[in-house]
């Protein structure tokens, strides 16, 4: 493996010119730059990232803290973040917070110790009092993703209230009055916002969201399964329709309905916030709200890199629109057929 002197000799330039090309610290004539890049390939030179970080005070690494493995929605989001980071010349290191404040604080501390240039955070409960102050005190640029906060930092998330209200109103328009909801983990902003949107839409139609029909699925497959069973096995009228407020919980709900031998939509209409890449494989197809996770991930990286590059304006809070996918699980075909 060659060194910087070997590259300079092969390209016929000075070592300082090679350094400027590698570290982008000064403009170099395009022909000279191409010659240096060719010499890098020919000599097998590999940049010493640690030495470069010490020289430039940048590591070329972005960090991501997210509860990636519990929610299938986050997988394409991570892919989008990693792809955009690579396009901008950054490597990505990440860790799973499991949406646990203690794990998140330890994880973020570890990421900061590794000199990440900036950090993208899907905050766990209580992050405003723990993790976010830690990151800000370190002076590391920060972008919050998926969940908004009152913290004075850049952040972006999908619209939450209007899409849930639309799902709920759609079921009401189909004649449902006993409508249940499986809500997300307590203490997470997006979960609170979506649950409030459900109860508001019910109240606007003169309907009451019965407590026994509103169950916290804790944003997990297993707890959504357990709470759905409890809802339908409890006393009183059963819901004739369900609104599920993230796609991990939708899996648990569908598993419970199958165990209860309840058909969708014949016995229970079903709609959900968050779509699946493979929703069209379900029978019936799921009526769902889809988030634009590709745009969210890429935009988060752009916001973060702008801060790293010196943008010093006020915090930016952006909401991304969602898309309503109208399929069969809501029961519209049955209504039209008079069944």
pLDDT of residue 18: 86
Q: What is the CATH number of domain 4-47?
A: 1.10.260.40
pLDDT reading at 250 higher than 70: yes
Lowest mean pLDDT among 26-35, 36-45, 83-92: 36-45
Categorise residue 77: left if φ over 0, alpha if ψ from -120 to 50, beta otherwise: alpha
Q: What is the pLDDT of residue 6?
A: 86
Contacts of 78 (CB under 8 A, 6+ apart): 64, 66, 68, 94, 297
Per the model's pLDDT, the better-predicted residue between 97 and 204 turns out to be: 204
Whether 316 contacts 166, CB under 8 Å: no
The pLDDT value recorded for residue 281 is: 67
The span from the CA of 140 to the CA of 209, in Å, is 43
Number of CB atoms found within 10 A of residue 84's CB: 21
Confidence of residue 236 (pLDDT cuts 50, 70, 90): confident
pLDDT at 49 over 80: no
pLDDT for 19: 80
- Res. 52 pLDDT band, cuts 50 70 90: low
Q: What is the pTM of this model?
A: 0.79
One of 3.40.50.1970, 3.40.50.2300, 3.40.50.300, 3.30.70.260 is the CATH number of 60-158+293-321, namely: 3.40.50.2300
Mean pLDDT of the chain: 88
What pLDDT score was predicted for residue 54? 45
Residue reference for tokens 């916030």:
273
**Please, what's the b/e burial string for 236-261 (b: 16 or more CB within 10 A of its CB; e: otherwise)?**
eeebbbbbbbbbbbbbbbbbbbeebe
CB contact at 8 A, 205 and 199? no
User: What is the model's pLDDT at position 118?
Assistant: 94
Mean pLDDT, residues 22-43:
83
Q: At what angle do helices 15-23 and 49-56 cross, to 10 degrees?
A: 90
Domain layout of the chain by residue ranges: 4-47, 60-158+293-321, 160-291
Is the confidence at residue 72, as pLDDT, over 60?
yes
Q: Average pLDDT of 185-210?
A: 93
Q: At what angle do helices 221-233 and 247-259 cross, to 10 degrees?
A: 40
Strongest mean pLDDT among 49-58, 68-77, 291-300: 291-300
- Identify the pLDDT of residue 245: 95
160-291: CATH homologous superfamily?
Response regulator (3.40.50.2300)
Whether residue 1 has pLDDT greater than 80 = no
- Same fold: 4-47 with 160-291: no
How many residues belong to the chain?
A: 339
Q: How do residues 74-131 score in pLDDT, each as one tens digit? A: 788 889 999 999 888 888 998 888 888 899 899 998 888 888 899 999 998 888 888 9
DSSP character for 98? T
Residue 338 clears pLDDT 60, i.e. is over it = no
133-144 mean pLDDT: 92
**Residue 113 has what pLDDT?**
84
Residue 34 has pLDDT above 70, yes or no: yes
Q: Give the per-residue pLDDT at 278.
A: 67
Q: Identify the pLDDT of residue 41.
A: 79
Residue 331: pLDDT over 70: yes
* Other C-beta atoms lying within 10 Å of the C-beta of residue 130: 16
Read off the pLDDT band of 176 (50, 70, 90). very high
Token pair in block for residue 253: 């709900």
Strands of the sheet containing 323-325, edge to edge, are 214-216, 179-183, 241-244, 269-273, 287-290, 323-325
Q: To which residue do tokens 């039209």 refer?
A: 336
Angle at 89 (CA atoms; ends 86, 91), nearest 5 degrees: 60
Q: Given a cut of 60, is residue 243 above it in pLDDT?
A: yes
């Amino acid at each position: 493996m060659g060194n910087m002197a070997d590259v300079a000799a092969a390209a016929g330039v000075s070592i300082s010119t090679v350094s400027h090309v590698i570290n982008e610290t000064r403009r170099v004539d395009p022909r000279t730059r191409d010659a240096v890049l060719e010499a890098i390939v020919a000599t097998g030179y590999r940049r010493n990232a640690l030495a470069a970080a010490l020289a430039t005070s940048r590591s070329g690494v972005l960090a991501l803290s997210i509860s990636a493995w519990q929610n299938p929605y986050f997988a394409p989001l991570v892919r989008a973040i990693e792809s955009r980071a690579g396009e901008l010349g950054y490597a990505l290191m990440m860790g799973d917070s499991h949406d646990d404040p203690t794990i998140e604080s330890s994880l973020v501390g570890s990421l900061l110790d590794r000199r990440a240039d900036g950090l993208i955070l899907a905050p766990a409960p209580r992050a405003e009092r723990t993790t976010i102050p830690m990151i800000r005190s370190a002076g590391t640029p920060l972008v919050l993703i998926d969940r908004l906060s009152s913290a004075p930092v850049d952040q972006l998330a999908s619209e939450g209230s209007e899409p849930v209200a639309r799902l709920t109103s759609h079921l009401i328009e189909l004649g449902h009055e006993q409508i249940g909801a499986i809500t997300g983990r307590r203490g997470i902003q997006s979960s609170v916002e979506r649950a409030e949107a459900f109860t508001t839409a019910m109240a606007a139609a003169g309907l009451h969201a019965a407590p026994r029909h509103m169950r916290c699925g804790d944003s997990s497959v297993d707890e959504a399964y357990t709470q759905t069973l409890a809802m339908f096995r409890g006393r009183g009228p059963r819901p004739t329709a369900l609104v599920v407020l993230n796609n991990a919980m939708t899996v648990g709900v569908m598993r419970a309905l199958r165990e209860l031998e309840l058909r969708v939509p014949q016995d229970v209409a079903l709609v959900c916030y968050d779509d699946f890449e493979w929703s069209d494989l379900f029978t019936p197809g799921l009526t769902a709200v889809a988030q634009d996770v590709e745009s969210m991930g890429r935009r988060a990286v752009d916001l973060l890199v702008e801060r790293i590059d010196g943008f010093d304006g006020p915090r930016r809070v952006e909401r991304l629109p969602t898309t309503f996918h109208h399929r069969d699980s809501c029961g519209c075909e049955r209504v039209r057929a008079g069944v």
